[in-house]
Amino acid sequence: MQGYATVASPFARKVRVAAIETGQRDLIEWRMLSREERPEVVPPINPLGKVPTVLLDNGEALYDSPVICAYVDSLHDGAKLIPAEGPDRWTVLRREALGDGLAEAVIAVAQESQKSPDMRSPRVIERQGAKVAAALAALDAETKTFRDPPSMGEIAAACALGYMEYRGVAADWRESHGRLAAWYAQILARPSFAETMPEDKA
């Protein structure tokens, strides 16, 4: 299966981590796109033009990251990242949505902050920054219920935190969210996270 990603995308990282965590490291052959390549390469496969997108061997495209992660999780017989049923299923999926929402708010803050001062909207930065703060507080409060090994919910949360640090948004979050910070330091030691850490600014 062919995958399309950018090196820093927290959503693509979720899929890469999910594949490694489920023992399917080589399931997806990734093509890492530059910012310039993405709008050329992705729209013919995914009308939304976003990464991650994967192309199945039968020619069908899958997006977005929750769908691809669920697909990856359906392809192995080990412990599932997304419980098949019961209350835990909904907790995991809701936590994945919280992690994804944090990443989306971080992207919005970073993009707005990069604009020249005359084009920048302080209101957007304030509104999206408030979402970042609220998501961090929620994750910190529920750290005690996080699963080990991580479910899809914790994977999404950690990928969002990684992207937040990569972009320098809420730079002092570790000081004010001690439980979440301690958990995050531990999850970073997992091979799946170490191998997918975004390094180059993109």
Ligand X SMILES: N[C@@H](CCC(=O)N[C@@H](CS)C(=O)NCC(=O)O)C(=O)O
Q: Which of 17, 19, 20, 51 binds ligand X (CB under 6 A)?
A: 51
Residue 93 Cβ vs ligand X, minimum distance, rounded to whole Å: 13
What is d(CA 81, CA 151) in angstroms, rounded to the nearest whole number?
4
Q: Which of 13, 50, 167, 177 binds ligand X (CB under 6 A)?
A: 50
- Going by their DSSP bridges, the two strands 53-55 and 2-5 should be labelled as antiparallel
Q: Which of 96, 100, 112, 154 binds ligand X (CB under 6 A)?
A: 100
Stretch that binds ligand X, among 3-11, 76-84, 132-140, 190-198 (CB under 6 A): 3-11
Site string for ligand X, 6-35 (x = CB under 6 A): x--x-x------------------------
64 is a site residue for ligand X (CB under 6 A): yes
Residue 195 Cβ vs ligand X, minimum distance, rounded to whole Å: 19
User: What is the contact surface with ligand X in residues (CB under 6 A)?
Assistant: 6, 9, 11, 49-52, 64-65, 100
